[in-house]
Amino acid sequence: MDIEYVAKLARIELNKQEKKRLSTQLGDILAYIEKLKELNISSVEPMSHVLPLKNVFRRDEVRPSLPQEKVLANAPHAAGNNFSVPRIIE
Amino acid sequence: MELHRLTAHQLSDLIAQKKTSPKEIAQDLLKRIKKTEKKVKAFCFLDEKDVLRQCAELEKRTSHGALFGIPVVIKDNICVQGQDTTCSSRILKGFKPPYDATCVRRLKQEGAIIFAKGNMDEFAFGSSCETSCYGPTHNPWDLKRIPGGSSGGSAASVAADETILALGSDTGGSIRQPASLCGVVGFKPTYGRVSRYGLIAFASSLDQIGPLAKDVQDAAILLNVISGHDGQDSTCADVKVPDYTKALVNNVNGLRIGYPKEYFAKGLNTEVKDSVETALGLLRKLGAQVKEISLPHTGYAVADYYIIATAEASSNLARFDGVQYGHRASDFDNLLDMYAKTRGEGFGEEAKRRIILGTYALSSGYYDAYYLRALKARRLIKEDFDRAFKDCDCIVTPTSPTAAFKIGERIDNPLAMYLSDIYTISVNLAGLPAISVPCGFNEKGLPIGLQFIARAFEEEVLLRGAYTFEQNTDYHLKKPEL
């Protein structure tokens, strides 16, 4: 596994030590997971969910939602009635 | 009176006879906690004033509920309005949910006291409660040992008589394994039985909330309260909820029990094996028809789980980006850098390991080799159970291959840690209900657990089997010395 590339995809900064440790450990785990290749699964349908659920619909009704100040109360940075993030367009 | 030693049903009787009150129960538990909590460290948050405020509110109530005055510990990944809910992670420090999880709302309606937040492995990633950012919880039976995980705080607090009931969540064994290692009852309901609204998601196709209790009757009472359809969770099944206390019958006559030979093979500790075989012998003596069965894909469950669960986790945990809640890095160059630093600082080692593994399994070029293959293997594992349940009503196994291990013993070997859940993981992959009940102690005096597994939505079969076993043994009555 290219640990730097995958960490970048996952948006996680890792230090040098972490990269080294995780590479070794993930290598062991992936080697263990290889055992799934023993199974003959070419004709098996994938199962992403155990319940026989079809689309679950609800009425499209206006319902009360949480007040803005309650939602923003947990934000690390808020400005006015908005979440505040670094500038993304130069 | 030592109220903390009693069960919910015993306390409810005392309240009904006006022999005690919610306040008296809460005060007795708070006194108990002063003595034991510094050793066990089961809680990450406990607000004594709020507990007493809830008691005062209850005293004003005219109609009592099914859990009137009964303290319940809530695992730290279940939202309680206005109270810290952090998944025992630095990245969520300070988060106070603006709403209650559905199960918490139902507990409050029924008069329960929301008592404390139970410590857990960070984001429920672990089998030992050691990956919590608050430090490990200790097993009340031997403080040098782990309580199991990830609902370790919930299980340890019930075992230590620091609460009467607790809620946990179970994605691969996180209710049953700590229940087994702490000598209490742990119940993982069928997938879809209990609403997941307000449970901070780990793996959405596997997660389920459930009770931890001192006996099977208490587990049934708590299950009655939290079960049932909820429009806020589209995977919560619209299936009628029976009165689970009616399933508490001391009779297994004619019950067809299968024990899978794959669960009694290499890797099972001999003391655990002996206890479980003795338990099977007792069930047979009590009239059950016990026979060997086979679940041939058992050996693939752990590998399968660690692809599916980490893939779902990597997607679910993308929401922790330092924007809407929790931690944000203070020093960064731009938005992407803010995400990477926030997550690098906020997540612990096991969380990083799982997010990276899951991201890899879903990444372009590897999806078919890992994730798609895992979804196919998942079907084979579920079909094993479908076949087995044609000839039996429930399956009995050990809950965990060993009793509690020492703190630090497996923390540097993730794969060894993952194998702690070898007997519980298949149940989640197949979406089935299962219960763990105490079935003995090893030479060191550590508890051993027995797991019953049933067909989807047949929780009543589990309760019948587990209740009968409990009524004919006294393992659940033994208490740790603290």
What are the mean pLDDT values of chain B's consecutive 10-residue runs (482 residues total)? 95 96 98 98 98 96 93 98 98 96 98 98 97 98 98 98 98 98 98 98 98 98 98 94 98 98 94 98 98 97 97 98 96 95 97 98 94 97 98 98 96 90 97 98 98 98 98 98 94
Predicted local distance difference test score (pLDDT) of residue A53: 74
B163 lies in some domain: yes
Portion 264-323 of B in contact with A at CB < 8 A: 297, 299-300, 302-304, 306-307, 314, 318, 321-323
Predicted local distance difference test score (pLDDT) of residue B73: 98
Predicted local distance difference test score (pLDDT) of residue B300: 97
Q: What is the CATH number of the domain that holds B75?
A: 3.90.1300.10
Closest alpha carbon within chain A to B81: A70
B374 lies in some domain: no
Catalytic residue check, B75: yes
Angle, CA B403 vertex, CA B313 and CA B455 arms, to 5°:
60
Kindly give, in sequence order, each residue whose CB lies less than 8 Å from that of residue B62, ignoring residues fewer than 6 positions away.
none
B137 lies in some domain: yes
CA distance B29 to B21: 13
Catalytic residue check, B285: no
B284 lies in some domain: no
B59 lies in some domain: yes
B164 lies in some domain: yes
Interface with B, mutate which of A3, A49, A82 (most B CBs under 10 A): A49
Question: How far from chain centre, in Å, is Cα B29?
Answer: 22
E strand map for A1-90: 78-79, 82-83
List of domains in chain A: 1-40 (1.10.20)
Instruction: Report the side by side order of strands in the sheet with B43-45.
Output: B43-45, B113-118, B71-75, B165-170, B208-213, B185-188, B434-441, B447-454, B394-398, B256-260, B289-293
In sign, the C-alpha dihedral spanning B389, B394, B398, B400 is positive
Hey, which residues does B434 pair with through a beta bridge?
B188, B453
How far CA B403 is from CA of B3, B128, B177, B271, in Å, comes to 29, 12, 10, 9
Predicted local distance difference test score (pLDDT) of residue A57: 86
Predicted local distance difference test score (pLDDT) of residue B233: 95
A33 lies within 8 A of chain B by CB: yes
Task: Give ipTM to 2 decimals.
Answer: 0.96
Interface with A, mutate which of B90, B356, B366, B378 (most A CBs under 10 A): B356
Residue B124 structural domain: 3-250
Class of residue B95 by CB neighbours under 10 A (exposed 0-12, middle 13-18, buried 19+): buried
Structural domains counted in chain B: 1
At B78, list the tokens. 């279940």
Identity of the residue in B344, B414, B430 whose CB atom sits nearest the CB atom of A12: B344
Predicted local distance difference test score (pLDDT) of residue B125: 97
B81 lies within 8 A of chain A by CB: no
A49 lies within 8 A of chain B by CB: yes
Identity of the residue in B327, B336, B378 whose CB atom sits nearest the CB atom of A47: B378
How far CA A21 is from CA of A15, A26, B121, B347, B352, in Å, comes to 10, 8, 20, 16, 11
